[in-house]
Amino acid sequence: MINFPVSLLNLPLRAAADIRARRFLARDPLAVQRELLPMLVKRAGQTRFGQDHGFSRLAGLPFDQLYQGFRQQVPLRSYRQFWDQYFAPQLQDNGSGIRLELRNQTWPGLIPFFCETSGTTAPTKYIPFTREMFAANRRAALDMLACYLAAEPDSRLLGSSILYMAGPTSLTSLGPGIWSGDMSAITLRERPSWLTPFVEPKEPLSSAPWEERLEGMAQMLLRNPKVRVISGVPPWILLLLQRVEQLAGRPLRQALPQLELIIHGGTSLAPYAEEFRRLFPSGGPRFLELLPSSEAMMGFQVQGEDGMRLTPYYGTFFEFVPIAQLDESGSPLPDAQVIPLEQVVVGERYAVILSTCAGLWRYQIGDTLRFLDTEQYRIQFTGRDRFLDRFEEKVTQGEVEAAVAALNQQLGSAVCEFMVGPDIANRRHRWVLASRAALPDQPAIATFLDHQLSQANADYGTFRSQGRINPPEVLLVEEQLIYDWSREVRGKLGGQSKIPHIDPTLTGELVASLNDYRPL
């Protein structure tokens, strides 16, 4: 067997990346969407869902007629509606565990995997995940990497390793050939064998409890110079890098000179940006944002561009509902206008509706975004479709995160995590800010956040000036307390889970669990 030098092998790989990147950048999003929906409808024509909604009569029609019929025959559905109508009837519970076999229900054949969503305040959901969806996600990952390599001719990623900050890696059997678990666990289980040597951490560290995994990953980064990429959720990436800095006892750029790229998603980077700048004050790794979910890959950032691109190429047909046409729970109003990609407007904020090759049809995923242009369809992730709206103010997650980002610019990244919710009895917002350092007094911070929201949200500003909403309350807690709460109350910490930045339960069990909070 001949062993070729890695540098020699890199040449054809870079050439292939250039070709793949050019093909991706040349794709027409609208044309792909017009091809994709008929393919999905035809594929699912003989399923129970397809028969219930007349897919066989739609297949073969010109796109405009097919889409009009699709809109008329398939209503928008939430997860609960899908569960009650198509998933729950197939569920069996024998006392020792559940069995869930979906065969020819909403997608042809047997659904082999279910992603247990990380969620924020909602119970665990079981999202169907097909091999077609896995293949689509893999194409998306290769396209993003190809675009990066094409834009960075001096990159050293080829032949290096990626630290994948996954969730729990164990899977649960739901029946013969059927598994459920965190999406990252499914991805790791089904990855090509040739990729295994380049993915860290490996067993037993990858399945260790979160605190042990975090410590082990920090030590591994310091001793393994081949790890040049970190992929994960921004707050957990920060915890990892902060621990590396502590262990190294020197600036992070000196401790990790090999670190080239951070791939982040799941929540906005903005509130954490100041801390990343502190860690890398004179330049550091490049950052790429992506918008993944258990339901579909929705977008990623092309290296060299601001913002992500919507990526409507990977087994998903997209529709959108203007955010103003959602009720206070985030559900579309009965007369809400649902539009395809070709009708979106720059600057408008939309809730996302998906129809996928995993058998979800006109499914409201719960994410919202704003379009920055309609040439490349660049997008900005604006959070979940959950609002601060108990006083009719409709403050969004994006506005909350922007307010904390501005606060961190003033305080030097002091706030590491946060949540905000309604205090109904006192007609105000209650903010919980977690910090590792001393902060100014609560009234000064409350005034600052109040001003930021008033500037960003006209309704909030008007209601505050009219006295319909009272000044906010701020609770300052130690950093670890909010992580302890997430682990003990929510049962979720690290990996792909997120701290809920807008939490409507903030007046209930969370505040009860913070009764003994220690002001800083």
DSSP per-residue letters across 358-379: TS--SEEEEEEEEES-SSS-EE
The predicted structure's pLDDT at residue 2: 36
The predicted structure's pLDDT at residue 120: 44
In a domain, 122, yes or no: no
In a domain, 118, yes or no: no
Residue 218 has pLDDT above 60, yes or no: yes
Strand, coil or helix: what is 440? coil
Mean pLDDT of 1-13: 53
* 416 and 504 co-located in one domain: yes
Query: Of 79, 81, 63, which is closest to residue 71 (Cα–Cα)?
Result: 63
| pLDDT digit string, tens, across residues 429-444 | 999 888 877 777 788 8
The predicted structure's pLDDT at residue 495: 60
* 427 and 493 co-located in one domain: yes
* 364 and 458 co-located in one domain: no
The predicted structure's pLDDT at residue 417: 86
* 323 and 423 co-located in one domain: no
In a domain, 436, yes or no: yes
Are 449 and 407 within 8 A, CB to CB?
yes
In a domain, 488, yes or no: yes
Over pLDDT 70: what percentage of the chain? 92
Domain boundary among 384, 409, 434: 384
* 373 and 422 co-located in one domain: no
Backbone φ, ψ for residue 474 (5° rounding): -120, 125
Q: What is the CATH number of the domain that holds 464?
A: 3.30.300
The predicted structure's pLDDT at residue 9: 52
The predicted structure's pLDDT at residue 494: 63
Strand, coil or helix: what is 242? helix
Q: Is the peptide bond before 153 cis (omega within 30 degrees of 0)?
A: no
In a domain, 31, yes or no: no
Domain boundary among 333, 356, 384: 384
* 453 and 365 co-located in one domain: no
Mean pLDDT score of the chain: 87
Residue 516 has pLDDT above 70, yes or no: no
Domain boundary among 329, 354, 384: 384
* 402 and 431 co-located in one domain: yes
Cβ-Cβ contacts under 8 Å for 181 (sequence gap 6 or more)? 115, 116, 168, 169, 170, 171, 172
The predicted structure's pLDDT at residue 493: 67
The predicted structure's pLDDT at residue 491: 63
Of the pLDDT bands very low, low, confident and very high (cuts 50, 70, 90), residue 413 is confident
Query: pTM, whole model, 2 decimals?
Result: 0.85
In a domain, 197, yes or no: no
In a domain, 358, yes or no: yes
Of the pLDDT bands very low, low, confident and very high (cuts 50, 70, 90), residue 331 is confident
Domain that holds residue 439: 397-513
* 504 and 404 co-located in one domain: yes
Identify the weakest region by mean pLDDT among 73-77, 155-159, 309-313.
Answer: 155-159
Over pLDDT 90: what percentage of the chain? 54
The predicted structure's pLDDT at residue 519: 44
Q: Which residue has the tokens 């302890």?
A: 484
* 349 and 447 co-located in one domain: no
The predicted structure's pLDDT at residue 128: 96
Q: Cα(first)–Cα(last) distance of the chain, in Å?
A: 64
User: Does 440 or 150 have the greater pLDDT score?
Assistant: 150
Task: Indicate the length of the chain as a whole number.
Answer: 520
Mean pLDDT of 218-236: 94
| pLDDT digit string, tens, across residues 123-143 | 678 999 999 999 999 999 999
The predicted structure's pLDDT at residue 504: 66
Number of folded domains that form the chain = 2
The predicted structure's pLDDT at residue 252: 94
* 416 and 497 co-located in one domain: yes
In a domain, 411, yes or no: yes
Count CA atoms within 13 Å of residue 296 on its CB side: 27
* 498 and 402 co-located in one domain: yes
Mean pLDDT of 214-221: 95
* 410 and 374 co-located in one domain: no
